[in-house]
Structure 1
Amino acid sequence: MMYEDETGYKKGKIQKRKIVETEIFSVDKRIKIISEIFAITEKKGEEST
C-alpha cells in the first residue's frame, strides 16, 4: 500500500514538470513568432521609404 502511494506521488510530480516544460516551450514559440512578425513588418517599413 505504501509503495502504491509513493509511485502515485512521483507520477503526479512528473506530470506537473511536463506541464511546466510545455508552458515554457509555448512561451518561447510565441516570442519567436512575435519576433518574426516584427522582422517582417520592419522590412515592409524599409521598402516603403
Structure 2
Amino acid sequence: MYEDETGYKKGEVQKRKIVETEIFSVDERIKIISEIFAITEKGTEEST
C-alpha cells in the first residue's frame, strides 16, 4: 500500500462518525412510537 509524506495511505478510507443525542421524555417516546405504528399499519392496510 502506498503511503505519502503526510501519512495518508492510498486506499485507506477515512471516516468521521458524528453522533447527536436527543433527550425525550417517556411521553414523547410513546407518542413517537405510536405514530410509527400508525404509519406502518396504514401502509400494511393499503397494500392488501
**Please, what TM-score do these two structures have when normalized by structure 2?**
0.50
Larger relative contact order (Cα-Cα within 8 Å, sequence gap ≥ 6): 2
Structure possessing the higher radius of gyration over alpha carbons: 2
